[in-house]
Amino acid sequence: MKYTPAKPPLTGETLDSLTEKLRARGEPTFRAKQILEWLYKKRARSWDEMTNLPKTLRAWLADTFELLPATLVHGKQSLDVTDKLLLELGDRSLIETVIIRAPQEGVGLEHSRKTICISTQVGCAMGCKFCASGLLGLKRDLNAGEIVAQLLQVCYREDARTQRAREELASFDNIVVMGMGEPLANYDAIIRALTIVNAEWGLGFGARRITLSTSGLVPKILQLAEEPLGIRLAISLHGATDEVREQIMPVNKAYPLAKLLPAVKTFSEKHGRMVTLEFILIEGINDSLEQAEKLRDIALDLHAHVNLIPYNTVEGLPWKRPSITRQERFADVLRAARVSVTLRREKGHDIEAACGQLRLKTEKERELTVA
């Protein structure tokens, strides 16, 4: 379903596109920079705050753009480490953005590793059998402005929390594109959004600290490899053979491993950075030692990092995580071959798991909060 907002969001404009629109109105070119500075650096929440702009220009801006296309319905600090922002869009769709603060040994929350997980679609069309987003199907793509707005909402939240407001976004270690949706199925919007996030005139967040996760849309991975942006890539592998992967990920029919893995290699060689292979461990599905051996070979060949994620139960789905012993035995096969591997066991601390769990809850929360 296509969604056209009544007014385009200001958060979807690049410096060039905004300059162009202002030029058409006869405004001097420096205005675009001023406006974006109000939005991203000074964090203005209304047009009236933009006091160095003429009143007539402010009135025109208010008529022409939506300042922020996502409003906070509520923010819930559900676990000490996970802060979920439930956001409502112009058509009343709900999305979630998550702040994950993983405390480090011996230091307080202030020094924790901080990650923001953003969504790119309302629902998802890929239909992975283990994922709650797959259950909902795709409602629509987010536009670039809605993707950027999630990060501004995180900024507002941090501004309210600490004194060091302006530096707060830079203090995040990572932005992960691992929330609801398949980002590469909404390619133009995610590239435009991340360009804004990365740009000096935008949020100024380093591309090397942004990771995009995909279920494996091969042509788009190759296209991404050509982008100058330089973001990092994670692949939702979840099966080390076609036979296993196909059972849980329908996308594997169109893009089996023989197509996916060479595309990942191309990306990795172009960028000179390790790609991450995400592998959710699901009991009785992909947790055998044969799968571990196959995964080890793939990781060695791609020189990739492997992130093992114990499956997080989704209501209404039959899957379970394997026992800790079984998880460790699986990881040991990779460790023995000196594959770079992480296996996180603390519930809620795992970023992918926390993101992967948003899905159904979003709709449930709507019943609780919006109805």
Q: Is 96 a catalytic residue?
A: yes
Q: Which does residue 278 bind out of ligand SAH, ligand SF4, none, counting CB within 5 to 8 angstroms by kind?
A: ligand SAH
153, 236, 276, 362: residue in contact with ligand SF4 (rule CB under 6 A)? 236
Of 54 and 137, which has the nearer Cβ to ligand SF4?
Answer: 137
- Asked if residues 216 and 255 have their Cβ atoms less than 8 Å apart, the reply is yes
Q: Does 280 bind ligand SAH (CB under 6 A)?
A: yes
CA–CA separation, 300 and 343 (whole Å) = 17
264-293 residues in contact with ligand SF4 (CB under 6 A) are none
Token pair 């603390």: residue: 346
Please, what is the minimum distance in Å from the beta carbon of residue 8 to ligand SAH?
26
109-138 residues in contact with ligand SF4 (CB under 6 A) are 124, 126-128, 131, 133-134
Q: Does 286 bind ligand SAH (CB under 6 A)?
A: no
Q: Is 355 a catalytic residue?
A: yes
What tokens were used for 103?
Answer: 């405390």
Backbone angles phi, psi at 95, to 5 degrees: -135, 165
Of 87 and 124, which has the nearer Cβ to ligand SF4?
Answer: 124
- Catalytic position from the list 13, 66, 88, 96: 96
Q: Which does residue 134 bind out of ligand SF4, ligand SAH, none, counting CB within 5 to 8 angstroms by kind?
A: ligand SF4
179-198 residues in contact with ligand SAH (CB under 6 A) are 182
Please, what is the minimum distance in Å from the beta carbon of residue 2 to ligand SAH?
20
Please, what is the minimum distance in Å from the beta carbon of residue 119 to ligand SAH?
8
Of 146 and 182, which has the nearer Cβ to ligand SF4?
Answer: 182
Contacting positions for ligand SAH (CB under 6 A): 130-131, 178, 182, 213-215, 236, 278, 280, 309, 311-312, 314, 352-353, 355-357
Active-site positions read 96, 355
